[in-house]
Amino acid sequence: MANHNIEIDILRNDERWPEHFADDVDAIVATVLNTLELEAEGPAELSLLLTNDEEQQKLNTDWRAKEQSTNVLSFPQIEPDEAIEGMLGDISFAFETVQKEAEAEHKQFHHHFAHLLVHGFLHILGYDHLTDREAEEMEAAERKILARLDIADPYADIVEQ
């Protein structure tokens, strides 16, 4: 099955989000699972919220005590290394922030969104970037997945300090 038995519910709360993104989400989620050699162990559900900076800021304030918008937020409902089944979690995206970042980084909007979806879904699956080691593992997974999606390495232009 293309999406590994994961039902993906998409709520478009801002009309600026292209409707066709829904068609790509299944393929992106499937690529994440295929690349990581993971499989849903039973019926599973993932929710995506395509929203705007105002709503994203409220979510970020309510859940992370950060009074600003952000590109993507993930709300996992499974524990790391837990079976991939049931309600996996929610991922929300802020249109204006995603658009500004894509423009500033000279990336196609769709490619930047795909990267953020991969990033957000990796958080759902238990990946994080709180330590240098975790960040390296997560970035390596992102690079590998994005390469399979024919999307340029988003970290290639970042200069190591």
State the DSSP H helix or E strand holding residue 9, giving kind and residue range, or none if neither: strand 6-12
Helices 109-124 and 21-35: angle between axes, nearest 10 degrees: 50
- Output the CA torsion sign for 125, 20, 101, 139: positive
Answer for the pair 40, 4: CB distance below 8 angstroms, yes or no: yes
State the DSSP H helix or E strand holding residue 27, giving kind and residue range, or none if neither: helix 21-35
Q: Is 129 annotated as a binding residue?
A: yes
Structure tokens at 99: 């658009």
DSSP three-state, residue 29: helix
- In angstroms, the CA 14 to CA 19 distance is 10
Q: Is 111 annotated as a binding residue?
A: no
Q: Is 112 annotated as a binding residue?
A: no
Q: Burial, 93: exposed, middle or buried (Cβ in 10 Å; 0-12, 13-18, 19+)?
A: buried
Q: Are strands 72-76 and 44-51 parallel, antiparallel or unpaired?
A: unpaired
Which residues participate in the annotated binding site? 119, 123, 129
Which residues participate in the annotated binding site for Zn(2+)? 119, 123, 129
